[in-house]
Amino acid sequence: MSDDLTEMLAPEEKPEEKKDVTDLLLHDILTGTLPAGTWLKQIDLERRYDCTRPEVRRALDRLSQRRLVQHNPNRGYQVYELDDQRTREISDIRVILETGVADRMIANVTPAAIAELRGLARHFDEMSFRGSIMEHYDANLAFHRALLMLAGNSELVEVVAEIRQRTVSAPVSQWRTRARIEQSAREHHLMVDALEARDLPELKRLIEIHIRQAPIKA
């Protein structure tokens, strides 16, 4: 594995854009552009994202607080290497939270919400074929965010988004298999179906399957 970050990906230069460095770095970690274990040298990040040293430091500190990168004092930062147990634990938390509010999602669902979710699910389908890995990832995020919003608890949406960011680095690589992507796309539509039919047990079952990335048994 190469230690030099600059050669791994040259981000397209957009002079007018002024995004936060933390988000850029986060994205590159989540999409697997910076694989687990990579050393994040401050000098490299500075050049890579065309930003200053303090910005790099703040980004690294923030991501190490979220346990996405590991901080070795006086040695440096590296992308966190997550073990299977933590992955399973985080999935468990997500299952508990998201199935736990399934009843509220059904209670609050409206035809307009159904239409919006169908649109987002289709957008995910689209991105599966034609989009980049980032657009694909974002489309998935948008769908799940909209779905959770139905529970009427905006704090929950944030918490889940935060938790999800702790474990996607591994699954995102699994996404490279076309079969898994298409299965996810199907599951999205099935979840909307269950919502529309107000079928609580089925919705819960789908959510759990979807989070655990288990083979679907329809």
Partner DNA sequence: GTAACCAGAATTGGTGCCAATTTACGATAA
Partner DNA sequence: TTATCGTAAATTGGCACCAATTCTGGTTAC
Residues of this chain that bind DNA (CB under 7 A): 39-43, 52-55, 57, 71, 73-77
Reduced 3-state DSSP string for 85-139: HHHHHHHHHHHHHHHHCHHHHHHHCCHHHHHHHHHHHHHHHHHHHHCCHHHHHHH
- Torsion from C-alpha of 62, 151, 186, 114, nearest 10 degrees: -130
User: Least distance in Å: CB of 60 to DNA?
Assistant: 7
Return the H-helix or E-strand segment holding 77.
strand 76-79
Radius of gyration of the chain, Cα coordinates, nearest whole angstrom: 19
Q: Residue 112 class from Cβ within 10 Å (0-12 exposed, 13-18 middle, 19+ buried)?
A: exposed
Q: Is 122 in the site for a copy of itself (CB under 8 A)?
A: no
Q: Which one of 23, 89, 177, 198 is in contact with a copy of itself (CB under 8 A)? A: 89
Return the H-helix or E-strand segment holding 79.
strand 76-79
Q: Is 108 in the site for a copy of itself (CB under 8 A)?
A: no
Q: Is 37 in the site for a copy of itself (CB under 8 A)?
A: no
Indicate which of DNA, a copy of itself, none lies near residue 42 (CB less than 5 to 8 Å, by partner kind). DNA
Which residue stretch of 1-9, 12-20, 153-161, 178-186 sits at the interface with a copy of itself (rule: CB under 8 A)? 153-161
Q: Is 163 in the site for a copy of itself (CB under 8 A)?
A: yes
Indicate which of a copy of itself, DNA, none lies near residue 100 (CB less than 5 to 8 Å, by partner kind). a copy of itself
- Reduced to 3 states, what is the DSSP secondary structure of residue 39? strand
| Interface with a copy of itself: number of residues (CB under 8 A) | 20
Q: Is 86 in the site for a copy of itself (CB under 8 A)?
A: yes
Which residue stretch of 97-105, 123-131, 168-176, 206-214 sits at the interface with a copy of itself (rule: CB under 8 A)? 97-105
Which residue stretch of 45-53, 71-79, 110-118, 150-158 sits at the interface with a copy of itself (rule: CB under 8 A)? 150-158
Taking the CB of residue 7, how many other CB atoms lie within 10 A of it?
A: 9
Indicate which of DNA, a copy of itself, none lies near residue 62 (CB less than 5 to 8 Å, by partner kind). a copy of itself
Which tokens go with 185? 């796309």
Q: Is 133 in the site for a copy of itself (CB under 8 A)?
A: no
